[in-house]
Structure 1
Amino acid sequence: MSDHNTNSGMAALSICEAMLLALNDAKILPEREIVGILKDAAAAHENASGSTAELQTHKAVAVLINKIILGGNSVRRGL
């Protein structure tokens, strides 16, 4: 992956995480809904199809999302 793609991906992740935090802080979305969004996103990547290289990328993305869920990063849980 090029530096541009890596930087774009990191920026997108940071923006999305900030949005989820803001939605939770403003009591617009409860923690369970935010976790549900993250689980849906992980499942989409876990069930994706494509070439071997694409599947490896999807798997890595799903692993990262699941780590975010377990770590509680996007909803400021004290896990």
Structure 2
Amino acid sequence: MPDQTDHAGTAALSICEALLLAMNDRKLLPEHEIVGVLRDAAASHENAVGTELETEKHRAVADLINAIIAGGNSVRRL
């Protein structure tokens, strides 16, 4: 059963994706800058150091962000 942290993470992801879409729709940030923000976030987790468990969690986060980039979830691509 998912715990409260899972729900908070899912909510945060949904909110962030909605904000990125809104910023792109309102032409506040172009697609390449939104993708850049996501790449920076992924890189932060890819380069994180810590225990083996912490590193594994960061890697999973980076993989999720990279999947979002690949899937185009946070930008409306034509």
- CA apart distance, 1:70: 0.5
Gaps of 5+ in 2: none
Please name the residue that 2:28 is paired with.
28
Distance in 1, matches of 2:73 and 2:35, equals: 10
Alpha-carbon RMSD: 0.9
Please name the residue that 2:49 is paired with.
49
Q: Which amino acid aligns with 2:54?
A: E
Q: With structure 1 as the length reference, what TM-score do the two structures score? A: 0.94
Please name the residue that 1:64 is paired with.
64
Q: With structure 2 as the length reference, what TM-score do the two structures score? A: 0.95
Report which of the two has the higher share of helix: 1
Please name the residue that 1:37 is paired with.
37
Distance in 1, matches of 2:61 and 2:25, equals: 26
Where 1:74 maps in the other structure, the secondary structure is: coil
- CA apart distance, 1:43: 0.1
Q: Which 4+ stretches in 1 moved above 4 angstroms?
A: none
Gaps of 5+ in 1: none
Distance in 2, matches of 1:53 and 1:44, equals: 16
Q: Which amino acid aligns with 2:51?
A: S
The structure whose RCO (Cα within 8 Å, separation 6+) is larger is 2
